[in-house]
Chain A
Amino acid sequence: GESVGLHLPTLSVQEGDNSIINCAYSNSASDYFIWYKQESGKGPQFIIDIRSNMDKRQGQRVTVLLNKTVKHLSLQIAATQPGDSAVYFCAENKPPGGKLIFGQGTELSVKP
């Protein structure tokens, strides 16, 4: 079926290190990609997005890279903090409309 898959289900990093979370998507027609953070007991929280006509976008401590040639998306978190510990999901928007297809999620654990 349709899927956006993640290479690593868990990632453990030391506080202050940079984190990289990867994602492979399956639909070449997807035109918009988003990273969400989900903490226990909460709904997904928007982190950063990127449109298909871009290959890089930066936010505060986060960068998203898009490689359409190999259908790969990554999220880079600089100077990872304990508050970054959560499950991270990538999602692709499959037109028409706003159907988001989510990856399985990567659990990020930050060790102090």
Chain B
Amino acid sequence: KAGVTQTPRYLIKTRGQQVTLSCSPISGHRSVSWYQQTPGQGLQFLFEYFSETQRNKGNFPGRFSGRQFSNSRSEMNVSTLELGDSALYLCASREGTANNEQFFGPGTRLTVL
């Protein structure tokens, strides 16, 4: 099976712009989670989707949003970008909703100038 794929791999934006990141989970996986990774804060949970429904949400402002499509592919959007949004955004997928392995994609490196 192909692994989790994320596009684009690298992205440069300027403050105030918005960005959309895409994640394709492993075939058959219905749960997709998003994480933000920065040197200062480490890996932080953004949100989790299962069957097109947001199941869990982390402590991020409303500028961060996401959605999941019927084929389990997911997108996350960040509006009104700030310098502090520069990070590696990781997507992870798994079969169910709890207590099983999450497989991570390679991430999208977002740089906000």
Interface residues of A (CB under 8 A from B): 1, 31-32, 34, 36, 41-46, 49, 51, 89, 91, 93, 95-105
Contacts and interface: CB of A to CB of B under 8 A. Distances in A.
B50 to A, nearest CB: 8
Contacts of A101: 45
Given A31-B99, A97-B48, A98-B48, A45 B104 contact: yes
Contacts of B4: 43
The residue among A36, A93, A100 with the most chain B CB atoms within 10 A of its own CB is A100
Contact of B102 (A31, A41, A46, A104): A46
B48 A93 contact: no
B: contact size bracket: 20 to 34
Contact of B42 (A32, A34, A49, A103): A103
Given A98-B97, A98-B98, A43 B104 contact: yes
Contacts of B92: 43, 100
A101 B35 CA distance: 10
Nearest to B90: A43
Contact of A100 (B45, B50, B97, B106): B45
A83 to B, nearest CB: 18
Interface stretch (B14-22, B55-63, B65-73, B74-82): B55-63
Identify which of A41, A44, A101 gathers the most chain B CB atoms within 10 Å of its CB: A44
Given A43-B92, A98-B55, 19 more contacts: A31-B99, A43-B90, A43-B106, A43-B107, A44-B90, A45-B104, A51-B99, A93-B98, A97-B48, A97-B55, A98-B33, A98-B97, A98-B102, A99-B33, A100-B35, A101-B45, A102-B44, A103-B42, A104-B42
B24 interface: no
Contacts of B44: 102
A32 B98 CA distance: 9
Nearest to B46: A99
Contacts of A41: 106
